[in-house]
Amino acid sequence: MERSRRAGPGGRGAEPQGGDFRGNLHPAIDVQVPAGHPGDLSWLEAIAVAVDDHQPRALDEPAPNHIRVFFPSASDRDRALAAVVSAHGVRVRARAIRVSDENWAARSQADLEAIRVGRVIVAPPWCAPAAPDPADVVVTIRPALGFGSGHHASTRLALLGLQQLDLRGRHVLDLGTGSGILAIAAVKLGASRATGIDRDPDALASAREAGAANGVAAEVELRRQNIADLVPAGASVVVANLTGAALIRLAPVVAALAEPGGPVIVSGILGDEEAAVAGAYRGHARMAWRAAEDEWVGMTFRVPSRG
């Protein structure tokens, strides 16, 4: 799920594709929350947890104590609204709405340029370098496709985490693949193959197109599946760019997907969520790397080796 402190309906700079959009109206819930924190979580985390089973597309905090969550259909939205009311009752004021993006995504994406993260260059097609340095890795992503253009700090931190590892000949499992940017980058950084998992069919269609455009379709397998339903598979490297709430809830599953001694890269973590996420993974792995950009944090954990 995409998330931003200040963003348009596509969260971190991506326009939701497909779904129940009438004109440019997006199904959403609007939640007014009180000041403070509901227990150990922030309100942003608490709302994310409440709606997580109902296909949220983007989570936005347009103003203090004001949260909006976008969905692919009105039915998903209505189920999420009921879940929020059930979880938080009179402490919040939640209502179903439709939000016009007024071509927000098209306007914002038109000016996007290539960005560099270490030796990885992520570029929209209109800004791809004509003659990159041989040491550079170029990933071409059309921002309007799915989620994950590389222009959000959480994606950049995950890309940076991948570059701390020797990926040659390894299998990378990308949880919540979105546009496929991390799976594609992993293969271009030397991984023999990557598997991208997402429950959103529109995101997977975008990822397939991106894989073909980058010449790695044969090496990137894409599967529609819920992360919680995955069984331990012994991936060489696991990367999960999710929300802090999802990373905490799924920590046992995510850690179990890595091979013994394997790294698990987690990103999508706000600074005030870091301690809770780190605590959730310490019971399954040890921290090996950490980086921060603005209010976002990325970390790598290594699961124990056998013996």
Q: Partners of 292 in the beta sheet?
A: 297
Q: What is the pLDDT of residue 301?
A: 98
Mean pLDDT by 10 residues, the chain (307 residues): 39 36 72 85 85 80 86 89 93 90 52 85 84 90 62 89 97 94 97 94 88 96 94 92 90 96 94 93 95 93 86
Give pLDDT, residue 146.
Answer: 44
145, 130 in Cβ contact below 8 A? no
Record the pTM: 0.74
**Structure tokens of 171?**
């299998």
Q: What is the pLDDT of residue 109?
A: 56
Exposed, middle or buried, 97 (CB in 10 Å: 0-12/13-18/19+)? middle
In order of start, what are the domains of the chain with their CATH numbers? 2-106 (3.30.70), 112-302 (3.40.50.150)
Q: How many residues does the chain have?
A: 307
Q: How many CA atoms lie within 13 A of 75 on its CB side?
A: 1
Dihedral pair phi/psi, residue 43, rounded to 5°: -65, -35
Q: How far is CA 8 from the centre of its chain?
A: 16
- Residue 276: what pLDDT? 94
Q: What is the pLDDT of residue 13?
A: 30
DSSP helix/strand/coil, 210:
helix
Q: At what angle do helices 153-162 and 181-188 cross, to 10 degrees?
A: 30
Give residue 147's pLDDT: 56
